[in-house]
Amino acid sequence: MARIAVITHEFDRFQNRRGLLLRRDSPYMLFDLLEELKRRGHSVRILRGISAKPAADIAVLHLDATVTPPDYVDYARRFPF
């Protein structure tokens, strides 16, 4: 199965913990898609910032910003797809 990395800005809140059971939640539709991919056996890792260097087959650049900083684009290019 595929190893998926989701690159978020270090200050973005891609996912939260809510409710009595502290369930993970997110305002982004991508979160629901990633949950389905995990259910199907893929591994998903959320990366906050660009300091980590995980092994992944695919990277999704997901920044909540009007303009994507060039260093994030360069970081995303390191991944195979």
What are 27-77's pLDDT values in tens digits?
Answer: 788 888 999 999 999 999 999 999 998 999 999 999 988 999 999 999 999
Residue 8 lies in a domain: yes
Give me the pLDDT at residue 16, please: 61
Using the structure block, give the residue that is written with the tokens 């259910």: 39
Residue 42 lies in a domain: yes
Whole-angstrom distance, CA of residue 4 vs CA of residue 79: 10
- Cβ atoms within 10 Å of 43's Cβ, excluding its own: 13
Give me the pLDDT at residue 49, please: 94
Residue 18 lies in a domain: yes
Domain count, the chain: 1
Please answer whether residues 73 and 51 qualify as being in contact, where contact means their C-beta atoms are separated by less than 8 angstroms: no
Please answer whether residues 72 and 61 qualify as being in contact, where contact means their C-beta atoms are separated by less than 8 angstroms: yes
Residue 81 lies in a domain: no
Residue 30 lies in a domain: yes
Residue 72 lies in a domain: yes
Give me the pLDDT at residue 68, please: 95
Using the structure block, give the residue that is written with the tokens 């989701």: 6
Which range of residues forms the domain containing residue 33?
3-76
Residue 37 lies in a domain: yes
Give me the pLDDT at residue 22, please: 46
